[in-house]
Chains A and B, each alone.
Chain A
Amino acid sequence: MRKSLRALVPIAAAAVPFAVLAGPASADTGTSYQTTLNALNHSSGSGMATVTVHGNQADVKVSWSGLAAQFNGGDYPHVQHIHIGGQGACPTIADDKNNDGVISTTEGGPAYGGIGTTLSTKGDTSPKAGTDIKIAPAGGSTDYSRTITLSNDTMQSLQAGTGVIVVHGLDPATLSKQAQKEKSDLVPSLPLAATSPALCGALSSMPSGGVATGTGSTAGVEQLGTFALGGGLLALGGAAFATRRRVSAGR
């Protein structure tokens, strides 16, 4: 109903049919989480991740591009994890405690927590594999898909909304001169750039079921109130004519 019409016929508003919204219904079994992966430390990359949990199994998909492609003449290994037990957030430059222009993995810890699950390409997915570059996705982009067993800690963190996906590994050239000379806070034999976070995304629940984007006011017959009022007036008019005829006849 258009607003002008409502103003013309206020009574019609009362008759506008309103619908009870559909209850949520999800076709997919399991709980799904999602996040966009946004750049940290000027990494210029971006991506998206989804985690679909069935029991203690999780289908994990991580897709990203735009990260450093080469490292020491080979494909750049980018270790990636589900971090847990922190604030369920990605760090900001305010977390750069030593002011070297880089949020190191340690400096990001309070925001995203520690490693809960390592999203390795094969083998170990525990926190122990967290810095194993031999089983990390390598190169400037990846489309990672793996079904893994989640630990109870990771499961609980996902449910609590504190699961965060972090992809590590920066292009050293994008770091400040000071930071380029620093060693990694995790693996002292590596430069700081190699282990610092490049992409981060806090996991949140995927919407369940469909959406309630309509009331049905334009479905079926609209303006029922107007029809009713119009019909009522026509009936009244007819009755008045009939009465008039009776009055005439009775003369």
Chain B
Amino acid sequence: MHSDPKAVDLKTLEQLARTLRYRVIKTSHLSGTPHLGSCLSCLDLLVYFYWQILKIDPKDARAADRDRFILSKGHAAPALFQVLAERGFFPVSDLENYGDDGSLFGEHPPTPGYLPGIEAATGSLGHGLPMGLGMALASRISGKPYSVYAVLSDGECNEGSVWEAAMLASAQKVSNLTIAIDYNKWQATGRSNEVLNLAPLGDKWRAFGWCVSEINGHSFEEMQKAISDNKDDPRPKAIIANTIKGRGVSFMEDDNNWHYRTPNAEELEKAAKELGIAA
């Protein structure tokens, strides 16, 4: 469908995001895969990176100078799988066995050798940023010019390894690393600013020496501005993406029950209607 990213304007991206949201919800309904709220909150970020930013070729998924994208919040893999399929890394029909015994498609990404487009088998939080930092440093050491992008969750910033990586990236003046934090204000069992004291999140990253922008994480225009405004900044870059968990479906939005709940047939139909998808 939209395999040539150059041809895609932001309006078309919005329609694409709605379609992918529906597929993620439907898959959750059919396979019982959880973390729906987490998938819907970062889906716009994934769409933007994959259709507007990443220099990648699905036909040459392991090219040495490709940009790398890591979904550090690995539990949103159901969203990533839909994005990768739609972007042409593998046929959308491959996702038909989602969650079956022996399927590659479950709650977290498999290792890169098992699925084109995957750069890191995340799922344990706090791993994606250090690995991405290693890849970004490798670009400099080996003289292959590419950039590394990662999406982290706000709950993930509980992990000490995130801040270890933040300090090294800043000390090493790594400029080809950009992260977006899916700041949906929830983690598994509570508000992310209450479980551990996360706020002020932007200031924390600034204090760690990063170039920070704070945006609406569902606005492609604001993503575009955050990326282009800071593209020449020599520091590592953090986009604090203010998002809504469960975004796109009224009865899922900002309701943390959808961290683990999966929709029934009636809810799927309702979601389709809200998203404007003919189910």
B is bound to A: no
Interface, chain B (partner A; CB < 8 A): none
Interface, chain A (partner B; CB < 8 A): none
